[in-house]
């Protein structure tokens, strides 16, 4: 096996709204940044992920764009497959979908309705169907929630589209191993990340498949002016009893130290996102040297 490529992308913070978005995309493209990642935040200023992906891909030629993460259960997987296939045809090798179980914000859960108590089952079936539609010429499917009879997407991408999953619960990690092409975690310590990678690999082996060694990543918030209270609460909710300093970088020096520890844990793909009152220009001024150092 060759040397694994380490890549750093940028995730937008709360200031990534429509007014600022085109300028941010142009700056990332001009600077040669590997990728841009868009979160599913409905009740905030953030651009909608798939629309933002379309805009960013249309005005760039090198920048890759991903969802970090979008919610799949509650969306029709056939329509999602069509959207992704179209984007992949328009911007080959630059579409990076990552899906999750539900929105991060509890007040948005009802926006993605599924039968009561069946969200995980809907996720599994949606993901299976999505991948079939993106890889097979004709798909017939008789599931609990979706039924198709000899359906084909005419604009299927010639190169298989990798579909990653977020989340760090035991069931989410096993889902990655059974069904997905990669994992993008968040709010996990380096030692937890190492164990999560091992769990994914074991689930994949049990399912008779494998996840590529360089398809393990993490989204890391950088808060150089102190961890905002809402981010500290989110970290405590996701990882009770864990020191937030092991989950969020409180300085750029901390970010480098944490990234080195995540690399030792087997991760090679990272999304750094600003947290708190961080000016975009300041974020990019510190991000670019770090990305260059890790890429080399």
- Is 199 domain-assigned? no
- Is 192 domain-assigned? no
Look up the CATH number of the domain holding residue 106.
3.20.20.30
Those residues whose C-beta lies under 8 Å from the C-beta of residue 27, and which sit 6 or more positions away, are: 284
pLDDT for res 241:
87
- Is 1 domain-assigned? no
Question: Taking the CB of residue 220, how many other CB atoms lie within 10 A of it?
Answer: 24
- Is 76 domain-assigned? yes
DSSP assignment letter at 4: P
Question: How many whole angstroms separate alpha carbon 61 and alpha carbon 149?
Answer: 37
pLDDT for res 296:
66
pLDDT for res 15:
61
Which tokens belong to 122? 């809907």
pLDDT for res 256:
96
**Nearest Cα residue to 157 out of 140, 137, 176, 139:** 137
What are the two backbone dihedrals, phi and then psi, of residue 139, each rounded to the nearest 5 degrees? Answer: -125, 120
pLDDT for res 246:
87
Q: Decide: 176 and 195 in contact? Cβ < 8 Å.
A: no
Those residues whose C-beta lies under 8 Å from the C-beta of residue 286, and which sit 6 or more positions away, are: 224, 252
**Beta bridge partner(s), residue 66:** 37, 96
- Is 94 domain-assigned? yes
What are the two backbone dihedrals, phi and then psi, of residue 117, each rounded to the nearest 5 degrees? Answer: 75, 10
Q: Decide: 150 and 162 in contact? Cβ < 8 Å.
A: no
Those residues whose C-beta lies under 8 Å from the C-beta of residue 209, and which sit 6 or more positions away, are: 177, 178
Q: Decide: 55 and 21 in contact? Cβ < 8 Å.
A: yes
Which tokens belong to 25? 């995309």
Supply the pTM of this predicted model.
0.94
- Is 102 domain-assigned? yes
CA dihedral 259, 284, 227, 12 (to 10 degrees): -90
Instruction: From first to last of the 296 residues of the chain, give the pLDDT tens digit.
Output: 457 899 999 998 766 689 999 999 999 999 999 999 999 999 988 999 999 999 999 999 999 999 989 999 999 999 999 999 999 999 999 999 999 999 988 899 999 999 999 999 999 999 999 999 999 999 999 999 999 999 999 888 888 899 999 999 999 999 999 999 999 999 999 999 999 999 999 999 999 999 999 999 999 999 998 888 888 888 888 888 888 888 999 999 999 999 999 999 999 999 999 987 788 999 999 999 999 988 76
Count of domains observed in the chain: 1
Question: How many whole angstroms separate alpha carbon 92 and alpha carbon 74?
Answer: 27
- Is 120 domain-assigned? yes
**Nearest Cα residue to 218 out of 6, 16, 23:** 6
* Residue 56 lies in domain: 7-186+206-295
Q: Decide: 221 and 275 in contact? Cβ < 8 Å.
A: yes
DSSP-assigned letters across all residues of 64-104: EEEESSEE-TTS-HHHHHHHHHHHHHHSTT-EE-EEESS-S
What are the two backbone dihedrals, phi and then psi, of residue 174, each rounded to the nearest 5 degrees? Answer: -65, -35
- Is 201 domain-assigned? no
Element (H, E) at 114: none
* pLDDT tens digits, 120-139: 999 999 999 999 999 999 99
């Amino acid at each position: 096996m060759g040397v694994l490529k380490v890549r750093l992308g940028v995730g937008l913070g709360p200031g990534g709204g429509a007014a600022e978005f085109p300028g941010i995309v142009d700056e990332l493209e001009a600077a040669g940044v590997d990728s841009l990642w868009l979160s599913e935040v409905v009740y905030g200023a953030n651009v909608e992920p798939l629309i933002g992906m379309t805009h960013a891909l249309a005005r760039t030629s090198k920048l890759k764009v991903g969802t970090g993460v979008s919610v799949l259960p509650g969306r029709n997987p056939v329509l999602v497959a069509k959207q992704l296939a179209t984007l992949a045809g328009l911007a080959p090798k630059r579409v990076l979908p990552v899906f999750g179980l539900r929105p991060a914000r509890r007040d948005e859960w009802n926006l993605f309705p599924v039968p009561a108590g069946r969200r995980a089952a809907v996720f599994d079936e949606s993901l299976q169907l999505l991948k079939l539609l993106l890889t097979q010429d004709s798909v017939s499917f008789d599931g609990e929630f979706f039924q198709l009879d000899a359906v084909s997407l005419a604009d299927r991408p010639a190169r298989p589209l990798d579909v990653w999953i977020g989340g760090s619960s035991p069931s989410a990690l096993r889902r990655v191993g059974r069904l997905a092409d990669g994992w993008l975690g968040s709010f996990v310590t380096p030692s937890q990340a190492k164990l999560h990678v091992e769990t994914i690999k074991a689930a994949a082996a049990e399912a008779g498949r494998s996840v590529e060694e360089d398809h393990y990543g993490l989204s890391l918030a950088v808060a150089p002016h102190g961890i905002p209270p809402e981010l500290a609460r989110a970290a405590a909710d996701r990882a009770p009893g864990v020191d937030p300093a092991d989950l969020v970088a409180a300085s750029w020096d901390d970010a480098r130290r944490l990234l080195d520890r995540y690399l030792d844990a087997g991760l090679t793909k990272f999304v750094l996102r600003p947290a708190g009152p961080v000016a975009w220009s300041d974020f990019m001024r510190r991000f670019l040297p770090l990305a260059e150092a890790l890429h080399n």
